[in-house]
Amino acid sequence: MKKTWIITKRELRSFFDSLMAYIMIVLFLGFSGFFTWIFGTDIFLINQASLQPFFGIAFWTLFFFIPAITMGLFAEERKSGTLELLVTKPVSDWQIITGKFFAAFLLICITLALTLPYYFTVAGIGKVDHGSVWMGYLGLLFLSACYISIGLFASSITSNQIVAFLVALFIGIFFQLIFGMAASGTTGWLAGILNYLSLSTHFESMSRGVIDSKDILYFLSIIVLGLAGAELALSKRNL
């Protein structure tokens, strides 16, 4: 655990050193703020003290931003050769992977924490269902963790950051959109399976304030699967 934290610290610092973190935070706040408060189906349009518009937009912004954060985590180290040095240090592959995972996850936590003023503002102008807001944030965190784990896997199989970004988006779009669409086009048990696989189904139920152990199990299995895939790719050592 100590080793994992050392790697997390280094990665997190490198996000801020390379300005990646600042760009991510500014763009995310800009996008989500714009669509939450100013444009489209914003809070004033629906005229309810609810953060639903924010969760809807964050759902998509995170989908695009997370692959951009994770794409370099392995691909860049593989390209510059630092991965070779890192795996010959007394750390296990799993510690390296989880270290990087938590670094990206903490960056998302920081970013989402900066949107808390939205919550306080809405709470100031109307009666907010506090439970559903906190559940919505929890949903965003689970969703982010899933995409980080998918992004880590994508980054671990290539030394090209662009490839890693596109692969992560490609895998992500199935969970984000395609399974849901396919489910509505089919019936019976197949629709049930596709609907369960769709990440948006689980996220929407959470952002409405409903939590189910099935949802948690779903998110956790995607996270574990992505990280395990990354470990498998890393253990092959074909750098």
Partner 1 sequence: MEVNVENITKTYGFQKAVDHISFQVHTGEIVGFLGPNGAGKTTTMKIITCFMPPNEGDVKVGGISVLANPEEVKKHIGYLPETNPLYKEMPVIDYLKFAAEIQDVPAGKIRERIGEMIQVCGLRSEKYKKIGELSKGYQQRVGLAQALIHDPEVLILDEPTSGLDPNQIVEIRDLIRNIGRQKTVILCSHILAEVEATCDRIVIVNEGKLVADGTAITLRKQAQNKEIVRVTIEDGDRNTIFEALKGIETAEGVDFLPDYTQGFEVQSKAGTTSRKAIFRLCVEKGWTLTEMTPVERKLEEIFRGLTLNN
- Residue closest to 73 by CA, chosen among 107, 112, 41: 107
Among 3, 31, 129, 177, binds partner 1 (CB under 8 A): 3
The reply on whether position 17 binds partner 1 by CB under 8 A is yes
Task: Please tell me the distance from the alpha carbon of residue 135 to that of residue 129, in angstroms, as a whole number.
Answer: 10
Per-residue contact string for residues 183-202; x = within reach of partner 1 by CB under 8 A = --------------------
The nearest distance, CB 87 to partner 1, in angstroms, is: 6
Per-residue contact string for residues 28-67; x = within reach of partner 1 by CB under 8 A = ----------------------------------------
Residue type, 182: A
CB atoms within 10 A of CB 87: 16
Contact set for partner 1, span 198-237 (CB under 8 A): 237
Contact (Cβ atoms closer than 8 angstroms) between residue 118 and residue 196:
no
Contact set for partner 1, span 60-99 (CB under 8 A): 80-85, 87-92
Task: Please tell me the distance from the alpha carbon of residue 71 to that of residue 209, in angstroms, as a whole number.
Answer: 32
Contact (Cβ atoms closer than 8 angstroms) between residue 222 and residue 146:
yes
Give the footprint of partner 1 on this chain (CB under 8 A). 3, 6-7, 9-10, 13-14, 17-18, 80-85, 87-92, 237
